[in-house]
Every structure is written in structure tokens, then in C-alpha cells.
A = this chain, B = another copy of it.
Amino acid sequence: MSRASDRAYEAIRSMILSGELPAGAQLAEEALAEKCGVSRTPVREALRRLESDLLVTRTDTQRSFVADWSIDDVADAFELRAMLEGKAARRAAERMTDAALDRIRAANRQIGEAVRGASADVVGFLEGNREFHAVILEVAASRRLAALLGTLVEQPVVWRTAHHYSREALLRSFGEHEELIAAFARRDGAWAEAIMTGHILRAYHAYADAHRGLAEQGIIREAAE
């Protein structure tokens, strides 16, 4: 992480996820290099990585811009993610070890605490949630599946909307995770896949609801055209 190209990657990525660099903004290498305190070489490398993450797009003339995620794009990504995470859950259930199961349980315990606190701890929720899904992906033991999902998980709009999820939605996530744990404990791949697929699709609708709400309040606006 101390390499300049990694720093550039993280810096640019977080500027995109936070909205500091809005959708459609041009990403000129020189300017980014200055902002990140490195030369253009590592910035170029970071841009290529972000491009393969689909966070950045390039025109046919090689100019880079912050990718513009329409609501359809988000739906598309969730749909694919539901399928792939479902598959991962199935494989994980078939390969589950007791040690991994403990780690998954611990992650959901953290989620439970984050959700039940006086004021919902969204950061804690996201952290536990990431760990929960990361362990499953690890147990699924498919480099390719992991690589594919890696490009789908981080979506700028989703990220910015997360803080507005209702507590009810967060609680339901926790409950679905508990059910997944039961499926894992039984090593029941079909059950795990079904729950996971539904879990992601429900999360999509939670996002869509929150997003619609925010749009109505004028807190966020839909991307132009």
C-alpha cells in the first residue's frame, strides 16, 4: 500500500466514491498526479485499474472520465452480483470449515451490535458486512469468482446512499445473514444459494428505496441524461 500507484489508486477511488469527483468529471493525468503528490506514471496505472473496476470510462480518444452509473447500471450490477454471490454461497456451503464458520458468525455478531446500538453504526455495519461476504468468497475458493465479484461490489451511488438505509433494512440484513449461517452449518449449498440471491436482491431494493427517497428530498440528483 505504500507504493505510489497504490496511493494514487486509493486516493482517486475514494474521491470518486465520495462524490468529490462527480460522474462525468474528466480525469486528467497531470492534475491527478499533482493532487496525489506523485508523478503521472503511477496515476496512469491507477486509472487503468479503476477503468477495469468500471469506476472510470475512457472515450475512444483515450480521455478518462468518472463513470456515469445510471439507475439501470446499478440494477444491472446488482442482478449480476446476486447471481455470482449466490454461486459463491453455494460453493462456500459445500466447502465450509468450522473455523470459517466461526469467522462468519463473528462478523455477523459485529453487524448485530452495530445495528442494535442506540444510533445505528453504519460504518460498523459496512465493515462487518464486508468481512461476512469476504469470508464466504474465500471459502468458495474460486479465484475467478473472486475476481469477477471484485469489480461489482463497490458502486459510488450505493456507497453514498448506505448511510440513509432504514434500521429495519439493516436488521433484515442481519436476519438473513443468520439464516445463511444456518445453511452453512448444514452444508446445504442450494439453501445457501437461494438465501444469498434473495439477500442481494433485497439489498438492491433497499438501496433503490433509499435512493428514491433521497432524490425526492433533493439530497441527491440523478445523473444528467
| Contact, CB under 8 Å: A54 / B143 | yes
Separation of A144 and B151 alpha carbons in the complex (Å): 9
For the complex, count residues of A whose C-beta is within 8 A of B.
Answer: 22
Interface centre among A44, A76, A144 (most CB of B within 10 A): A144
Least distance between A18 CB and chain B CB atoms (Å): 22
A82-99 residues with Cβ-Cβ distance < 8 A to B are 83-84, 87
| Contact, CB under 8 Å: A80 / B144 | yes
Decide yes or no whether A17 CB sits under 8 A from chain B: no
As for how many copies of this chain the complex holds, the number is 2
Decide yes or no whether A145 CB sits under 8 A from chain B: yes
Q: A151 to chain B: which residues have CB within 8 Å? A: 144, 147-148
Least distance between A210 CB and chain B CB atoms (Å): 22
A51-68 residues with Cβ-Cβ distance < 8 A to B are 52, 54
Q: Considering only CB atoms, which chain B residue lies closest to A49 in the complex?
A: B48
Interface centre among A73, A77, A80, A87 (most CB of B within 10 A): A80
Q: Considering only CB atoms, which chain B residue lies closest to A62 in the complex?
A: B3
| Contact, CB under 8 Å: B148 / A80 | yes
Decide yes or no whether A45 CB sits under 8 A from chain B: yes
B-contact 0/1 string along A124-154, CB 8 Å cutoff = 0000000000000000001111011001100
| Contact, CB under 8 Å: B48 / A145 | no
Least distance between A189 CB and chain B CB atoms (Å): 13
Point out residues on A near B: beta carbons under 8 Å.
41, 44-45, 48-49, 52, 54, 73, 76-77, 80, 83-84, 87, 142-145, 147-148, 151-152
The 10 closest A-B CB pairs, nearest first, are: A148-B148, A52-B52, A76-B142, A76-B144, A77-B144, A80-B144, A48-B48, A80-B145, A54-B147, A83-B83
Given A80-B84, A148-B148, 9 new contacts (CB under 8 A)? A41-B41, A44-B45, A52-B147, A54-B143, A54-B144, A73-B143, A76-B143, A80-B145, A80-B148
